[in-house]
Amino acid sequence: MQKQLILYGTLGCHLCEDAERVLQALALTYKTIDIIDDNQLLEKFETSIPVLKGTGETYLYWPFNETQVFTWLNSKDGF
């Protein structure tokens, strides 16, 4: 079973688009969640997006590049 990454962001966020390009360059499967649709997520991530979530409560905050994502995913914190 493949583990799912979640990318928290919002429409019109150029940093979120940059984060998606990083994930696409690594050919990773991920789900995007728009924080504007959830008051709790908006409060938690409003000034932090984009934010990448692995399993549990582990997060990788922007800025990140391909190497950083790869390293995080292969650490105990990513998955």
User: Does residue 78 lie within any of the structural domains?
Assistant: no
Task: For residue 33, give the CATH number of its domain.
Answer: 3.40.30.10
Contacts of 21 (CB under 8 A, 6+ apart): none
Residue 3 has pLDDT above 80, yes or no: no
Asked if 78 and 57 touch (Cβ cutoff 8 Å), the reply is no
Residue 1 has pLDDT above 50, yes or no: no
Handedness of CA 13, 53, 2, 75 (dihedral sign): positive
Which has more confidence, 41 or 79? 41
Q: How far is CA 39 from CA 2, 27, 59, in A?
A: 29, 30, 19
Residue 79 lies in a domain: no
Looking at residue 60, its pLDDT comes to 96
Question: What is the count of structural domains for the chain?
Answer: 1
- Reply yes or no on whether the pLDDT at 75 is more than 60: yes
Q: For residue 26, what are the domain limits?
A: 5-73
Distance of CA 8 to the CA centre of its chain: 5
Beta strands in the chain (DSSP E): 5-9, 30-34, 51-53, 59-61
Q: What is the pLDDT of residues 26-74, one digit of tens each?
A: 999 999 999 999 999 999 999 999 999 988 788 999 999 999 999 999 8
